[in-house]
Amino acid sequence: MSVKQRPVFAGLTLMLVAVLSACGGGADKGDGHAGGKGGGKGGSYSQPHSDQVRGLYDAVRHLPRKTAKATRAHMVKECDPATRKVKHTSRSGSGKRKRTRTWYTTERYNQCHKVRKGSETYTRVVRPERWCVRLDDVNGKPQKDDRWFRVSPATYSEVHGKDEHARVKFEPRGRGC
């Protein structure tokens, strides 16, 4: 690039950055905040990201753990004595007089494997225990009513003590119940 082209290129780059920052500043305005002149740096109107939900308390539901009896093969470890041949080598001498001696020995060990011996009964978890809260007007949106959220037992007991349609805010473990 020649010396004459550098100021032109720098000017175009500066204009491009200014246009992109002006266009991109209002793209992430958060929860329905109207525009207006922002006094913040970079023209950003976005709220810090949080997984918390807020709304009006509607109902709670506790689903206990659901289990079922099932059977599976009972496996037992069985070992049989076995032997294997082990190769040994030793080297002696140097130069042209190098000599390698090889010999074999028999090593005894236990060869183990699992074998089926009958069957055993165990308790299988069909559904884990869940604590759920139903909210209306989720995150201030009236069209988002009757939404279920899975919560921790502590959040469940905290919300359960509140009046119906009280404002609550919590971090859910999952959606649905």
pLDDT at 31: 43
Range of the domain at 77: 69-124
What is the C-alpha separation between 89 and 100, in angstroms, rounded?
Answer: 7
Q: How many domains does the structure of the chain reveal?
A: 3
Q: Do 117 and 152 fall into the same domain?
A: no
Does the global pTM surpass 0.75? no
Q: What is the pLDDT of residues 65-123, one digit of tens each?
A: 999 999 999 999 999 999 999 999 999 988 888 899 999 999 999 999 999 999 999 99
What is the C-alpha separation between 137 and 145, in angstroms, rounded?
Answer: 5
What is the C-alpha separation between 159 and 155, in angstroms, rounded?
Answer: 6
Q: What are the residues facing 79 on neighbouring strands?
A: 112
**Cβ atoms of residues 137 and 54 within 8 Å:** no
Q: Do 95 and 120 fall into the same domain?
A: yes
Q: What is the pLDDT of residues 39-48, one digit of tens each?
A: 444 444 445 5
Q: Do 133 and 168 fall into the same domain?
A: yes
